[in-house]
Amino acid sequence: GQNIDQPTEMTATEGAIVQINCTYQTSGFNGLFWYQQHAGEAPTFLSYNVLDGLEEKGRFSSFLSRSKGYSYLLLKELQMKDSASYLCAVRDDNAGNMLTFGGGTRLMVKP
């Protein structure tokens, strides 16, 4: 089976930087995804990592270490609209194309 852990809640200040961690255990790792989900809306794709290292997309970056089973999502220059849940999901070669999700991290950005 797979186990994906991420913090339940985080709070940060507008304009600051926040790092959301995700650890996973999987037998046939084949990619890690980050999604953003505002309440009542569709999870929106943010990033994909399959090789070690940092992927940067504007204010958002995602890092992966396969040897440590660890990823983080880094959000810079936080804006109020970044308040949302952030979902970490892993794809496993031994489980087809399905994604296995963590419970999500609810981020609150305060003025």
User: Can you give the binding site for another protein, defined by CB under 8 A?
Assistant: 4, 31, 33, 35, 40-45, 48, 50, 87, 89, 91, 95-104
Q: With DSSP H G I counted as helix, E B as strand and the rest as coil, what are the percentages for the chain, rounded to 5?
A: 5, 60, 35
Residue 91 beta carbon to another protein: minimum distance, rounded to whole angstroms: 8
Residue 97 beta carbon to another protein: minimum distance, rounded to whole angstroms: 6
Residue 40 beta carbon to another protein: minimum distance, rounded to whole angstroms: 7
Kindly tell me which of 18 and 32 has the beta carbon lying closer to another protein: 32
Structural contact between residues 62 and 71, judged by C-beta atoms closer than 8 angstroms: yes
DSSP 93: G
